[in-house]
A = this chain, B = another copy of it.
Amino acid sequence: MHDVYTIKEKILSRNAELADENRRILKERGIFTVNIISSPGAGKTSIIEKTLESLTDRCRVAVIEGDLQTEIDSTRLKRYGIPVRQITTGRTCHLDAHMVHHTLPWLMEQGDIELLIIENVGNMVCPAEYDLGEDMKVVVMSVPEGDDKPLKYPSIFHASDILIINKIDLVGYTNFNIDRARENALRINPGLEVFETSCTQGKGIKRWCELLLSRIPARR
């Protein structure tokens, strides 16, 4: 049997090549691409819903939705009248560049998309290792998960450009300390830009949407 780690290196190196190809294709089309990663239930889909509420009148958005099973999330997002493509991964605990590559012909048929949001499978570990060809990696942590998560799952905080601390409406009902959470995250990755959001109260969404708009190439 081949050494497992050698196999994994090969998989990751092929993934990186294909991710670079995805990135080149998306860039040529002027599409800004975001890869959103979190634990199950941290609120990725809710954040995307709020983002669509705010942005669908202002730019052309498409979503790729990664899940092990079910189309629950893509059904939620299709209500916003934008193109949504579901990838169900079965037993695979993350999206990879190959899966995303297969959606590109579909994406090219959706007119002049400016912003592509990819919602990864709910998992704090493996998605950190698989570049999809995105311009920006976003990690979402939610208040009920606890402020020690950056220390315990450092790889995804290390790999990300943006941290969204979500469900801040629940701070009063938990022992979560926002300052400590920020501090723990910035200890792992001092370059992280941090947003605090509550989807139920609509807090923090505006600033996050302005950031997205400012990164779309045609609008710079």
Contact = CB atoms under 8 A, between A and B. Distances in A.
Interface in A149-165: 149, 151-155
Contact of A153 (B11, B68, B149, B173): B68
A100 to B, nearest CB: 18
A93 interface: yes
Interface of A: 1-2, 4, 7, 10-11, 39-42, 67-70, 72-73, 91, 93, 121-126, 129, 141-146, 148-149, 151-155, 167, 169-170, 173-174
B149 A40 contact: yes
A170 B143 CA distance: 12
Given A40-B145, A155-B68, A123 B2 contact: no
Contacts of A145: 39-42
10 contacts: A1-B2, A7-B7, A39-B124, A41-B142, A68-B125, A73-B152, A121-B125, A122-B124, A126-B126, A170-B174
B40 A152 contact: yes
Q: Which 9 A-B pairs have the closest CB atoms?
A: A41-B145, A93-B125, A144-B144, A39-B39, A39-B40, A41-B146, A40-B124, A70-B151, A93-B126
A151 B41 contact: no
Nearest to A169: B173
Given A122-B39, A123-B125, A170-B173, A154 B2 contact: no
Nearest to A126: B93
